[in-house]
Amino acid sequence: MKSEPKIAIKKPLVISKVLKYCLILFKGLPMESNGLASFLPLIFLFGIFYFLIIRPQQKQQKKHSAMIDALAKGDKIITTGGLHATIVKPEEDFIKIKLNDDTIVKLDKQFVSKKVELSNEKA
């Protein structure tokens, strides 16, 4: 009998613990006296979300844009649809890719998922 494959479950960020500690931290602040003090927990949470979610996403987008700009003839790529292809001719907004010996298609650059490095390719 075949056993079912084990699925690795990643541990999610524990935002509830962060909220709990924020409430404990800001519990002693007088909220009526200063309008800024009432927004302090919200500003603190925004800072946490910025460094945990927004900033890493921006870094990933910059890395992907640099990879797309550096594509050249002969590079092997994988599209977002999962097609493995070789670049025939890079253009400004599109690239021409070769799927097999006979098929050459035009693809928008934004649909390139990643560039296959020679060390990752199995012979």
29-87 pLDDT per residue, tens: 555 556 777 788 888 899 999 999 999 999 999 999 999 999 999 999 999 999 999 99
**pLDDT band (50, 70, 90) for residue 18:** low
Residue showing tokens 């690795």: 8
Strands in 94-98's sheet, in edge-to-edge order, are 104-108, 94-98, 84-90, 76-79, 112-116
Q: Which residues contact 49 (CB under 8 A, 6 or more apart)?
A: none
Return the structure tokens found at 29. Answer: 């602040």
- The full set of domains in the chain, from first to last, is 15-68 (no CATH), 72-116 (2.30.30)
Give the SS3 label for residue 26: coil
Contacts of 107 (CB under 8 A, 6+ apart): 79, 85, 94, 95, 96, 97
Output the pTM of the full model. 0.62
